[in-house]
Amino acid sequence: MSEMEQDLRSPARRRLVGAGLGAAGLSALPLSAALAQGGDLVVGAAPPITGVFAFAGVGLHQGLGDYCEWRNANGGVAGRKLRYIGEDSGYKMDQAMSVFKKIMGAHQPPVFYGDSTAWAKAAAAEVSRLGTTITSSPSFASDLADPAKVPYYFMAGPTYLAMIEIQLEYINSQAKAGGKPAVAIVYSDTEFGRDPIAGAKKHAQKLGIPLVQEIVTKPGAVDVSAEVAKLRRARPDYVIFHGYVLAPIPEFMKQMREAGMNVTSMGTIWSMDKTTVDAMGAAGQGWMGVMPYRYSYDTAGARSMQAIKDFAAKARPQMSYVPLFYTHGWLVGSIFCETMERCLKAGQALTGPNMKAALESIRDWDTGGIMGKPVSLASHQIPMGRIYRYDAGSKLLQPASDWISMAT
Amino acid sequence: MRIHDFRESYVHDEALWPTRVQRAWLVAVLVALAAFPLVGGGYLVGLMCVLGIHVIAAAGLNIMTGGAGLISLGHAAFMGVGCYTAAWLAQRGVPFVVTLPAAGLMAAALGVVVGLPSLRIKGLYLAVATLAMQFLLVYVFREWESVTGGVKGVNVPPASLFGLELNTDARMAWLIGGCAVVMLIGARNLFRTRVGRAFTAIRDKDISAEVLGIHLLHYKLMAFAIGAFYAGVAGALLGYFYRAMTPEYFTLQLSIFYLAAIIVGGLGSTLGTILGAVFMTLVPELLRGGVAFAAQWTPRATEILSPIQQVVFGLLIIGFLVFEPHGLVEVWRRIRRFFHLWPFRS
């Protein structure tokens, strides 16, 4: 190596080392947290950008981050700018907790978005102890919508149980003179899948809807012929699938159709994105389900949906369709901001108890059309949704009901 | 350069840390570990806790697999047994000084049951048998709701010592760090005893070991029991650390994580256990730190680079296995040999 080359390398190395040490210092110093308290409002997040939930995690991360950018461009929160700091959780609890502790230690964000039910449960004790932060995540697990036990957590939508109840209410509304439609429930053998089942049975009983079959499968089961045979014998009018994203739903629908069954298949939020239903192919025809949000192509009279569409078109020109995960991230961001804004406008510090009170004061709040009616977060969830049906002609999910609210 | 190390007696030759320099380093490391929770931030102390738990669990697997040659793919399930035992007892007011060993003993008892097939099968066949136990135990965790809380999981009350609740990361770091040090010394000592040598003989050739008079049933089951005991204690500490746990944590993926840790670190070596656990825990953190660093200038870096960091981590593991099949401990030994002879031979 010539002397000249060495001279060129040496400053570059020094710069690199300097930058590395600077970054390490910046991430470790509590000074940045102190500055953040007085200046920017930090929105911390550990979305699952990789791992088994990555299909949703990228959209969640983009939606929340883009909302912060959009909000900054529209004046911020009570005049203060937002700073979004998100790191990949990999959908692993250790990693999500590590990201949580890292961001909490370095920036002390007043709001934090996690990645799962397991994270929400593990972080709950520390969040309560700190009393500085309001949290949310993509989990709609029923026991997380409990202001007494998990005081600093909310979900931007209905619990899984409320989703099934909305479906049952819709099914009940379709009853004809001959009697109530018969329902079968197929769910995955996971925490996600089992969550609403006991409550769903009670609600079906309350409505007088006969629950004719209950089937548990592995999350990605392939061979479902035995289960389809059981369904065929049970002769349900509706089959509700819960605890899945895609597989084994298409296989169920295909085999049920081949078996000559005249049945309507329904799903819950994570199997309701348009890209997911498109992936079902021909089996997706007639697919229905509950969605707490409007689809991104449904912008008429919905200013937030229009804002999402415009911002995504400008910031992410390669994104041809804005998934529901993005909309969810955007809505979480707007609830975070509404909560902080209520505190700041009342002259209160951004502490956990103050923000919890502010969150619970959100009643008859307009989400800008993301959800069809004014919402309340008094119970730390929004038990509202609408039934959609997939139209294979337009390849769009179209409303099949009005917005249905459940009591909490 | 190493000097004044004459090894004039068997006692000196068998000492764990025979030289003054080693003892001085050991004291320095222990002091640094004890002081770290006071000076480290919440993130780093939390990371230390997770690392300590992984070190204890990996040490157990290394006794079983690296020491006695018994491959296990059910290590995560043993951790689960420990975690749920501790949670169940703690919910009934049993202090953690009792729940911790009880969790280890419960896991050890199950380890003996899982180890029974090891008398007839070994190698990949044993791995499959332990894999079956992994699935079976996770099924029990999900279904036995009255004890494990089912799929919703359990909450673990904080550990307390003389009325002081160990409800912060710093306090937990002392507990976990202390347990890790004690259990690592135990693991290191084990291989200087008759039991440890019997394990080594069984690992190298079990038929020959039996000819030498080693009771295979006794020692193989003991290896499973000790390995599972370590996993059980690690699981209990995990429960106390997170204070909430669901069955989805104790997956096959976690068992493979520990297997990867001891292979990358070095089979049959206590130091290898530590190095492997450090590698498997901290390298992804460092890679993610790099992504976070890049995201300060490019907001889109997180979504672009996060998937790439997993590829890099995978390549690093492959690279270590290709270039140093004996694990990181062998790299460490080479560095030590260099300094033992330095400056006379470089």
Q: What is the overall mean pLDDT for chain A?
A: 89
Mean pLDDT of A58-77: 95
- Asked if A226 and A341 sit in the same domain, the reply is no
Mean pLDDT of A37-57: 88
Yes or no, beta carbons of B246 and A121 under 8 Å apart: yes
- Asked if A307 and A363 sit in the same domain, the reply is yes
pLDDT of residue A298: 92
- Asked if A395 and A255 sit in the same domain, the reply is yes
Residue A199 lies in a domain: yes
The per-type count for chain B, helices as H runs and strands as E runs, is 15, 4
- Asked if A62 and A92 sit in the same domain, the reply is yes
Give the residue among A403, A334, A407, A342 at the shortest CA–CA distance from A374. A403
Report the phi/psi class of residue A187: left, alpha or beta, with left for phi > 0 and alpha for psi in -120 to 50. Answer: beta
pLDDT tens digits, A83-139: 999 999 999 999 999 999 999 988 999 999 999 999 999 999 889 989 999 999 999
Yes or no, beta carbons of A27 and B42 under 8 Å apart: no
Residue A23 lies in a domain: no
A109: domain range?
Answer: 39-158+300-377
- Asked if A191 and A280 sit in the same domain, the reply is yes
Residue A25 lies in a domain: no
Enumerate the residues of chain B whose CB falls inside 8 A of the CB of residue A194.
Answer: 150-151
pLDDT at A75 over 90: yes
Enumerate the residues of chain B whose CB falls inside 8 A of the CB of residue A97.
Answer: 46, 50, 242
Residue A333 lies in a domain: yes
Q: In total, how many domains does chain A have?
A: 2
End-to-end CA distance of chain A: 73
Q: Kindly state whether B244 is in contact with chain A, defined as any CB-CB distance less than 8 angstroms.
A: yes
**Nearest-CA distance from A87 to chain B in Å?**
7
Q: Kindly state whether A65 is in contact with chain B, defined as any CB-CB distance less than 8 angstroms.
A: yes
Which tokens in the block code for residue A83? Answer: 């700073």
Give the residue among B52, B46, B160 at the shortest CA–CA distance from B99. B160
Cα A292–chain centre separation: 10
The per-type count for chain A, helices as H runs and strands as E runs, is 14, 12
Nearest to A191 among B155, B246, B288 (CB): B246
pLDDT at A16 over 60: no
Share of chain A above pLDDT 70, in %: 91
Site of tokens 């597989």 = A247
Question: For chain A, how many residues are written?
Answer: 408
Question: Quick check: helix, strand or coil at residue B221?
Answer: helix
- The band of A28, judged by pLDDT with boundaries at 50, 70 and 90, is very low
Question: Quick check: helix, strand or coil at residue B123?
Answer: coil
How far apart are alpha carbons A231 and A252 in whole angstroms? 10
- CB-defined contacts A:B, below 8 A: 102
- Asked if A122 and A112 sit in the same domain, the reply is yes
Which tokens in the block code for residue A397? Answer: 């999910």
- The band of A281, judged by pLDDT with boundaries at 50, 70 and 90, is confident
| Cα three-residue angle A254-A259-A261, rounded to 5 degrees | 90
pLDDT of residue A33: 42
- The band of A36, judged by pLDDT with boundaries at 50, 70 and 90, is very low
pLDDT at A23 over 70: no
- Asked if A117 and A236 sit in the same domain, the reply is no
pLDDT of residue B15: 81
- Asked if A305 and A186 sit in the same domain, the reply is no
Lowest mean pLDDT among A19-28, A42-51, B239-248: A19-28
Lowest mean pLDDT among A29-43, A207-221, B86-100: A29-43
Higher pLDDT, A8 or A265: A265
- Asked if A127 and A60 sit in the same domain, the reply is yes
Yes or no, beta carbons of B151 and A194 under 8 Å apart: yes
Which tokens in the block code for residue B163? Answer: 């009325």
Lowest mean pLDDT among A338-342, B33-37, B73-77, B294-298: B294-298
How far apart are alpha carbons B2 and B4 in whole angstroms? 7
Beta-bridged to residue A289, according to DSSP, are A267, A388
- Asked if A126 and A251 sit in the same domain, the reply is no
pLDDT of residue A38: 60
pLDDT at A169 over 60: yes
Mean pLDDT of A18-24: 42
How far apart are alpha carbons A127 and B260 in whole angstroms? 33
How far apart are alpha carbons A367 and A305 in whole angstroms? 9
- Asked if A169 and A281 sit in the same domain, the reply is yes
Residue A4 lies in a domain: no
Yes or no, beta carbons of A62 and B46 under 8 Å apart: no
Lowest mean pLDDT among B269-273, B283-287, B319-323: B319-323
Residue A6 lies in a domain: no
How far apart are alpha carbons B77 and B60 in whole angstroms? 13
Yes or no, beta carbons of A98 and B291 under 8 Å apart: no
Mean pLDDT of B63-79: 94
Which tokens in the block code for residue B273? Answer: 């256990």
pLDDT at A34 over 50: no
Query: What's the CATH code of the domain at A215?
Result: 3.40.50.2300
pLDDT of residue B346: 56
Yes or no, beta carbons of B296 and A23 under 8 Å apart: yes
Backbone angles phi, psi at A182, to 5 degrees: -85, 145
Lowest mean pLDDT among A27-31, B196-200, B307-311, B333-337: A27-31
Enumerate the residues of chain A whose CB falls inside 8 A of the CB of residue B245.
Answer: 122
Which residues in chain B (62-101) have CB-CB distances under 8 A to chain A? none
Beta-bridged to residue A98, according to DSSP, are none
Nearest to B306 among A88, A93, A141 (CB): A88
- Asked if A260 and A311 sit in the same domain, the reply is no
Residue A18 lies in a domain: no
Question: Quick check: helix, strand or coil at residue A85?
Answer: strand
Mean pLDDT of B20-44: 90
Q: Kindly state whether A121 is in contact with chain B, defined as any CB-CB distance less than 8 angstroms.
A: yes
Count CB neighbours of B307 within 10 A.
14
Minimum Cα–Cα distance from A86: chain B residue: B302
Residue A12 lies in a domain: no
pLDDT tens digits, B272-287: 999 999 999 999 999 9
